[in-house]
Copies of this chain bind each other. A is one copy, B any other.
Amino acid sequence: MSHIKDYVEANKQRFLDELFELLRFPSVSADAKYKDDVLKTADYIAEKLRSAGADNVEVCATAGYPIVYGEKIIDPTKPTVLVYGHYDVQPPEPLELWHTPPFEPTVRDGKIFARGACDDKGQMYMHVKAFELMQETDGLPCNIKFMIEGEEEVGSAHLDTFVKANKERLAADVVLISDTAMISLEHPSLETGLRGLSYVEVEVTGPNRDLHSGVYGGAVANPATILAKMIASLHDENNRITIPGFYDDVVELSAAEREALNKAPFDEEAYKADLEVNALWGEKGYTTIERTGVRPTLEVNGIWGGYIGEGAKTVLPAKAHAKISMRLVPNQHSNTITQLFQKHFEQLAPEGVRVKVTPHHGGEPAVTPTDSVAYKAAERAITEAFGKAPIPTRGGGSIPIVALFEEELGLKTVLMGFGLDSDNLHSPNEKYDIANYYKGIETIPLFHKYFAELSQ
Q: Which residues of A contact B (CB under 8 A)?
A: 30-31, 90-91, 93-94, 97, 154-155, 181, 195, 197, 199, 201, 206-222, 224-225, 227-229, 231-235, 271, 275-283, 288, 291-292, 295, 297, 299-317, 320-323, 325, 327, 350-353, 360-361, 395-398, 421, 424-429
Contact = CB atoms under 8 A, between A and B. Distances in A.
A229 to B, nearest CB: 4
Across the A-B interface, the 10 shortest Cβ-Cβ residue pairs: A214-B397, A279-B351, A302-B306, A232-B232, A221-B281, A218-B291, A224-B300, A218-B297, A207-B275, A208-B276
A228 B209 CA distance: 23
* Identical chains in the assembly: 2
A219 B398 contact: no
A97 B351 CA distance: 25
B154 A311 contact: yes
15 contacts: A197-B314, A207-B275, A209-B427, A213-B301, A214-B395, A217-B325, A218-B291, A229-B231, A280-B352, A281-B350, A301-B313, A302-B317, A303-B306, A311-B360, A315-B427
Contact of A195 (B197, B214, B316): B214
Contacts of A217: 292, 297, 299, 325, 327, 396
Given A90-B313, A219-B292, 17 more contacts: A91-B309, A199-B314, A210-B427, A211-B426, A219-B281, A219-B291, A220-B281, A225-B232, A228-B229, A228-B231, A277-B352, A300-B317, A301-B313, A301-B315, A303-B306, A313-B426, A314-B426
A303 B302 CA distance: 10
Contacts of A218: 282-283, 291-292, 295, 297, 299, 327, 396
B235 A232 contact: no
B211 A315 contact: no
Nearest to A325: B314
Nearest to A224: B300
B208 A352 contact: no
Contacts of A426: 210-213, 313-315
A427 B155 CA distance: 36
Contacts of A288: 219
Contacts of A219: 271, 280-282, 288, 291-292
A26 to B, nearest CB: 16
A228 B220 contact: no
Given A214-B195, A214-B327, A321 B302 contact: no
Contacts of A279: 221, 351-352
B300 A30 contact: no
Nearest to A194: B214
Contact of A299 (B316, B350, B396): B316
